[in-house]
């Protein structure tokens, strides 16, 4: 007798995913057939977590930090993080403003659960981190995308799109400054305009600052620091990138105590608490020797410089030099025309099979906007060394020129 599994709940049909994982699977499959692959598709890091953090986590485990801890996280970490974010953002924050999460990613769904009612509209970036779209729709909201346009030195927010998408039913703005995948970064004037927009429409704001500390020059600026914004904003913080801790799974929501308390209550229901002993590793990361994170940024900067220089030599590709994140979002429309590829997937597949260079395209970062033309791909340099960058992009150049 064959027994069918029980039917899956209707809501699951609204749950999205990260299609970039399919690119990884394809690249791994190609590699397993004996080909060399240059992994520019990975949003993950190949760098080790600084030794003092690893040691602190081991120490905590040996010291008996193996039981549950408070759902909002251990107090010393909440204190240290509120001091760190408070100082960098010019905000008066205390531990009551911080709830520790198993990664930055869970902050997205929990923020939406805490503040969005079914039927509410949510503005979010597309191209952008695909989990926004997924979580908005999964929880019964209406996803309203806005995009970016090419400016003089980097991508800039498309205010026309933002104004066109807002309505009396809009409750939330998701804003990713130091943006994945474009590397876009708001100027002070742009931040002021976004703040004015959020205040005018009385929006709650999720400030996704996952790449806050991954920067090579200048200073990161936060929307949450502008007048009137801290009260309506939650900052997504993560230990993943600055400390090369992607697999440790530790992040935080930083914001008004009333929202933080709701997120802590969701923690009680979801995972009880974030992993106890690794919170001591993160505490060491925030308060201990900073040479590890500095070295991570130094290495990433070398990779960025190599990628920007070499991509710039490839006919049909133009690329900005973002001062933050570990992504480049080159315009490849010239290359597509030159090689005769009409779609992103044709280009991506051909590049992989003919050069081994693997990357994601715009399609992996949310739904395309009406009228949008195929033009952009994402190169991540967080998981590939400079010699491999040189080798891979050398092959891509020869292929483009052929
Ligand atoms: C824009 C953005 N937000 C949030 C995250 C979540 O990161 P994590 O869950 O590793 O902290 C990522 C990860 O790549 C990201 O790119």
Element (H, E) at 335: helix 333-339
pLDDT given at position 19: 87
Whether 105 is in the pocket of ligand 1, judged by its Cβ within 6 Å, is yes
Q: Where residue 25 falls among pLDDT bands split at 50, 70, 90?
A: very high
Q: Is residue 323's pLDDT more than 90?
A: yes
pLDDT given at position 149: 94
Read off the pLDDT of each residue in 51-58 and give the average, rounded to a whole number.
98
CA of 5 to the centre of ligand 1 (A): 33
What's the distance, Cα to Cα, between the start and end of the chain in Å? 59
Whether 179 is in the pocket of ligand 1, judged by its Cβ within 6 Å, is no
Position in ligand 1 atom list of the atom nearest CA 129: 1
Whether 327 is in the pocket of ligand 1, judged by its Cβ within 6 Å, is no
d(CA 305, CA 311): 10
**With a threshold of 0.95, does the pTM exceed it?**
yes
Q: Is residue 292's pLDDT more than 90?
A: yes
What does the pLDDT look like over 82-98, one tens digit per residue? Answer: 999 999 999 999 999 99
d(CA 252, CA 36): 38
Whether 103 is in the pocket of ligand 1, judged by its Cβ within 6 Å, is yes
Between CA 159 and CA 274, with CA 114 as vertex, the angle to 5 degrees is 110
Question: If you write DSSP's letter for every residue of 111-160 in order, what string do you get?
Answer: HHHHH--TT-EEEEESSS-THHHHHHHHTT-EEEEE-EEE-SSSEEE-HH
Residue to probe by mutation, ligand 1, list 45, 240, 275, most atoms within 8 Å of CB = 240
CA of 7 to the centre of ligand 1 (A): 32
CA of 103 to the centre of ligand 1 (A): 8
* For the chain, counts of helices (H) and of strands (E): 13, 14
Q: Where residue 160 falls among pLDDT bands split at 50, 70, 90?
A: very high
Question: What integer best gives the mean pLDDT of the chain?
Answer: 96
Q: Which CA distances in Å does 389 have to 320, 332, 375?
A: 17, 18, 22
The percentage of residues in the chain with a pLDDT greater than 70, rounded to a whole number, is 100
pLDDT given at position 371: 84
What does the pLDDT look like over 185-208, one tens digit per residue? Answer: 999 999 999 999 999 999 999 999
CA of 148 to the centre of ligand 1 (A): 19
pLDDT given at position 369: 87
Which strands make up the sheet holding 360-361, listed edge to edge?
327-328, 377-380, 360-361
């Amino acid at each position: 007798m064959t027994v069918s599994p029980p039917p899956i709940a209707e809501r699951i049909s609204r749950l999205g995913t990260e299609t970039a994982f399919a690119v990884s699977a394809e690249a791994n499959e190609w590699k397993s057939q004996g080909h060399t692959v240059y992994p520019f598709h990975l949003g993950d890091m190949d760098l080790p977590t600084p030794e003092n953090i690893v040691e602190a986590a081991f120490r905590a485990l040996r010291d008996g930090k193996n039981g549950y801890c408070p759902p909002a996280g251990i107090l010393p970490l909440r204190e240290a993080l509120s001091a760190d974010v408070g100082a960098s953002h010019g905000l008066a924050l205390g531990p009551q403003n911080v709830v520790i999460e198993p990664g930055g990613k869970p902050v997205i769904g929990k923020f939406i659960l805490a503040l969005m009612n079914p039927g509410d509209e949510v503005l979010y970036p597309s191209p952008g981190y695909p989990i926004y779209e997924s979580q908005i729709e999964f929880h019964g909201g209406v996803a309203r995308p806005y995009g970016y346009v090419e400016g003089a030195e980097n991508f800039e927010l498309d205010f026309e799109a933002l104004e066109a998408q807002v309505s009396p039913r809009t409750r939330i703005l998701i804003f990713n400054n130091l943006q994945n995948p474009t590397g876009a970064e708001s100027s002070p004037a742009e931040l002021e305009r976004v703040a004015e927009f959020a205040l005018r429409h009385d929006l709650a704001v999720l400030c996704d600052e996952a790449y806050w500390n991954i920067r090579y020059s200048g200073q990161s600026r936060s929307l949450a620091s502008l007048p009137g914004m801290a009260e309506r904003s939650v900052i997504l913080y993560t230990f993943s990138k600055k400390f090369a801790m992607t697999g440790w799974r530790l992040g935080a929501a930083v914001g008004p105590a009333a929202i933080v308390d709701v997120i802590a209550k969701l923690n009680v229901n979801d995972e009880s608490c974030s992993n106890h002993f690794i919170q001591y590793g993160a505490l060491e990361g925030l308060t201990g020797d900073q040479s590890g994170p500095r070295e991570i940024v130094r290495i990433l900067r070398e990779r960025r410089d190599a990628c920007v220089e070499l991509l710039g030599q490839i006919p049909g590709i133009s690329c900005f030099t973002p001062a933050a994140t570990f992504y480049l979002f080159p315009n490849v429309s010239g290359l597509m025309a030159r090689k005769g590829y009409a779609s992103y997937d044709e280009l991506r597949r051909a590049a992989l099979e003919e050069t081994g260079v693997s990357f994601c395209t715009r399609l992996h970062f949310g739904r395309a906007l009406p009228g949008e033309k195929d033009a952009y791909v994402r190169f991540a340099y967080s998981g590939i060394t400079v010699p491999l960058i040189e080798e891979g992009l050398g092959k891509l150049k020869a292929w483009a020129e052929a």
